[in-house]
């Protein structure tokens, strides 16, 4: 293109902008890798680099092992797959491993905050990046809300050991009704833990990582103890038939689920997929890693490998100790503690220890989810897609404290007033959608920018990314129509915000390309 034509094109583009018109090219404008790697290292909005490889692995395990394992396992067994929930974990683990390999390459190539949002901005353009950033709210913010609801359940179980407890109406949402006909009003404990951890995150990432490390050690130890002691209490009858006949199960909230058979396993995979959410949260802390190109792949794949093995063993023991019917009724809440107290006689001490460890474990999951969400908001704000307030750093702690406070209000509303099952499934489907775009992004970057240095490369491209997309789509299919509709509504809301605010305030829209000619 001649110099004259280039100037003429740019004049037309800028003139259109001044009239408020939107060009099709706006949707596909991208941040260059040079800009992505340079911007975070300059200016007053720079984050501190304090996390090593071990911190990142613990960060990942801290996010992964939590409500997904201790709550969603029983829910998937009751509603979807019975004892074959272990196969659901294998399917979900395969999907996460395939996506994790793609995440690891991106994290080594683009080691900045923002996770899939940032990767999409460099590969698929601004519109897709916005969709991913908006979608990640389902993963991190609603994920934190889901875990806080589970935290509330186990807190009540712990208080029960001391002969007290929180009334049903004050630790359940208005949409839930007890077997005695008591209606929930507000989940106060869930709101409380969100507030406490938001304040901790404001204090600093390094301090948060230290607390998280202590919690990770305790909850991994509890998982291993339950596997070892629970193995001797497995009732073979609870594992037969291992794959139940296909049917439809209506849960206590009158929601239908595909139960048994292949659709039940896929549905279970979609539900327990929530248990794997967290390894990608490691990538949101890239800007705070000491050596991100080396440490990010280790943190992502290391935490995922450790947790997958523990998950399969844990699910096998849990569904062997207690039955599917237990998880549908008496053992629906605080299912692990229920299984120990009811069937593992002589291990009451373990039930109490598990309850305390699970509470601590849930806290670490919420911590990492809130960290991940605030860092995604930080990146989106730096790009101008959401207001500047989300990237304002505390003058002393150098953390996005305003973002943390706003996030507390948003997450707190879901935690206090929405049932855990609904929030959990929205989290799973949102994350699966993000994973699909990350896998697609690897294929695109290999073709468009093969020369970019990568300290870690996803093997067998495009086979691995394509398989990742297929497995994630299968799990989305298993989650069913209600969750597809919720995802669609969420994305429509995001589109209104993008066209009403983001496309006009994008930093890329504010560039003056004529000065660069």
Specify burial of residue 376 (Cβ count, 10 A radius: 0-12, 13-18, 19+): buried
Range(s) of the domain holding residue 461: 52-507
pLDDT of residue 30: 78
pLDDT in tens, 7-57: 443 333 334 444 445 566 666 787 776 666 665 544 444 556 667 777 777
Short-list 361, 362, 435, 367, CA closest to 407: 367
Q: What is the pLDDT of residues 115-149, one digit of tens each?
A: 678 777 877 788 888 988 898 888 788 888 988 99
Q: Is the dihedral of CA 36, 38, 42, 47 positive or negative?
A: positive
Asked whether residue 239 is domain-assigned, the answer is: yes
Neighbouring CB atoms inside 10 A of 326's CB total 21
Within-domain flag for 393: yes
Give the domain CATH number at 460: 1.20.1740.10
Cα separations in angstroms, 323 against 75, 234, 246, 312, 316? 12, 10, 18, 17, 11
Domain contains 216 = yes
Give the percent of the chain with pLDDT over 70: 83
What's the total number of domains in the chain? 1
Nearest to 65 by CA among 211, 228, 278: 278
Report if residue 45 sits inside a domain. no
* Cβ–Cβ < 8 Å for 88, 246: no
CB within 8 Å of 498: residues ≥ 6 apart: 127, 130, 134, 385
pLDDT for the residue numbered 119: 75
pLDDT over 90, % of the chain: 31
Report pLDDT digits (tens) over 242-291.
999 999 888 776 778 889 999 999 999 988 887 887 666 666 566 666 77
Q: How far apart are CA 129 and CA 385, in angstroms?
A: 10
C-alpha–C-alpha distance, residues 78 and 72, integer Å: 10
In-domain check, residue 21: no
- pTM of the shown model: 0.75
For residue 264, the SS3 value is helix
Q: What is the pLDDT of residue 516?
A: 35
Tell me what pLDDT residue 179 has: 76
- Residue 4 forms part of a structural domain: no
Strand, helix or coil for residue 10: helix
User: Per mean pLDDT, which range of 227-236, 290-299, 423-432, 498-507 is the poorest?
Assistant: 290-299
Q: Measure Cα distances from 500 to 25, 386, 410, 495 in Å.
A: 17, 11, 20, 8
- Contact between residue 290 and residue 51 where contact means Cβ atoms under 8 Å apart: yes
**How much is the pLDDT for 17?**
44
pLDDT of residue 458 exceeding 80, the answer is yes
The whole-number pLDDT of residue 111 equals 64
Confidence at 513, pLDDT banded by 50, 70, 90: very low
Give pLDDT tens digits for 387-410: 999 988 888 877 888 988 999 999
133 in a domain, yes or no? Answer: yes
Got the DSSP string for 38-77?
A: HGGGSSTTPPP--B-HHHHHHHHHHHHSSHIIIIIHHHHI
CA nearest to 263, candidates 478, 5, 25: 478
For 161-170, the pLDDT digits (tens) are: 888 999 999 9
For residue 313, is it within any domain?
yes
Reported as a single tens digit per residue, the pLDDT across 347-401 is: 988 988 888 888 887 887 788 788 878 888 888 898 899 999 998 888 887 788 8
């Amino acid at each position: 293109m001649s110099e004259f034509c280039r100037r003429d094109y740019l004049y037309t583009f800028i003139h259109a902008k001044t009239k408020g018109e939107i060009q099709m090219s706006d949707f596909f404008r991208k941040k260059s890798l040079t800009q992505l790697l340079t911007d975070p290292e300059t200016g007053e909005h720079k984050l501190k680099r304090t996390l090593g490889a071990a911190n990142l692995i613990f960060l990942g395990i801290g996010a992964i092992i939590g409500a997904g394992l201790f709550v969603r396992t029983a829910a998937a067994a009751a509603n979807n797959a019975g004892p074959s929930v272990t196969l659901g974990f294998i399917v979900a683990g395969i999907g996460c491993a395939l996506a994790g390999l793609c995440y690891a390459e991106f994290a080594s190539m683009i080691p900045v905050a923002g996770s899939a949002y940032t990767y999409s901005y460099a590969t698929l353009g601004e519109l897709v990046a916005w969709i991913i950033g908006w979608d990640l709210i389902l993963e991190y913010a609603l994920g934190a809300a889901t875990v806080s609801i589970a935290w509330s359940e186990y807190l009540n179980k712990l208080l029960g050991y001391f002969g007290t407890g929180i009334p049903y109406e004050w630790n359940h949402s208005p949409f839930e009704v007890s077997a005695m006909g008591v209606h929930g009003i507000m989940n106060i404990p869930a709101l409380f833990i969100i507030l406490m951890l938001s304040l901790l995150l404001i204090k600093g990432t390094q301090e948060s990582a230290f607390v998280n490390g202590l919690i990770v050690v305790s909850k991994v130890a509890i998982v291993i103890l339950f596997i070892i002691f629970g193995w001797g209490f497995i009732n073979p009858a609870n594992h037969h038939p291992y794959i139940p006949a296909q049917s439809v199960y209506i849960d206590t909230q009158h929601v239908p689920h595909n139960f048994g058979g292949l659709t039940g396993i896929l549905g279970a995979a979609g539900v327990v997929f929530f248990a794997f959410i967290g390894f990608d949260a490691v990538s949101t802390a890239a800007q705070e890693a000491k050596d991100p190109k080396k440490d990010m792949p280790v943190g992502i794949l290391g935490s995922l490998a450790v947790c997958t093995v523990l998950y399969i063993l844990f699910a096998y023991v849990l569904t062997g100790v207690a039955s599917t019917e237990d998880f549908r009724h008496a053992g629906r809440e605080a299912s692990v503690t229920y299984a120990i107290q009811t069937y593992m006689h002589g291990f009451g001490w373990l039930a109490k220890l598990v309850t305390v460890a699970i509470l601590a474990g849930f806290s670490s999951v919420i911590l990492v989810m809130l960290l991940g969400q605030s860092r995604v908001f930080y990146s989106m704000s730096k790009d101008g897609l959401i207001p500047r307030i989300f990237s304002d750093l505390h003058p002393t702690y150098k953390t996005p404290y305003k973002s943390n406070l706003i996030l507390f209000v948003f997450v707190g509303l879901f935690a206090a007033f929405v049932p855990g099952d609904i929030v959990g499934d929205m989290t799973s489907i949102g994350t699966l959608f993000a994973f699909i775009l990350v896998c697609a992004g690897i294929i695109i970057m290999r073709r468009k920018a093969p020369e970019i240095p990568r300290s870690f490369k996803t093997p067998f491209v495009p086979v691995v990314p394509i398989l990742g997309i297929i497995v994630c789509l299968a799990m989305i299919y298993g989650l069913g129509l209600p969750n597809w509709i919720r995802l669609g509504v969420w994305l429509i809301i995001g589109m209104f915000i993008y066209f009403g605010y983001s496309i006009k305030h994008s930093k890329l829209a504010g560039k003056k390309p004529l000065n660069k000619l």
